[in-house]
Amino acid sequence: MIAAEQFHAEACFDLAVSYEIGVGVKKNLPLAFKYYQKAALLGDKQSIYETGRCYVQGNIKN
């Protein structure tokens, strides 16, 4: 989590996956979206896809 807060794209992606699946943390889809989006903005290509998937599936809340 510390690495994600320091803007490491891979750490943000890994944290997003954990929140989406609920591995090691309580499942939280809006938080997963937040970290996918953060990683996408940092240039992680898989996160760009996952961000779009979250929009299509409706896994976003402000």
d(CA 41, CA 24): 25
- pLDDT tens, residue by residue, 18-54: 999 999 999 999 999 999 999 999 999 999 999 999 9
Instruction: Give me the DSSP letters along 19-59.
Output: HHHTSSS---HHHHHHHHHHHHHTT-HHHHHHHHHHHHHT-
CA 45 to chain centre: 12
Buried b vs exposed e over 43-54: b needs ≥16 C-beta within 10 Å?
ebeebeebbeeb
Domain boundaries, the chain: 2-57
Model pTM score: 0.83
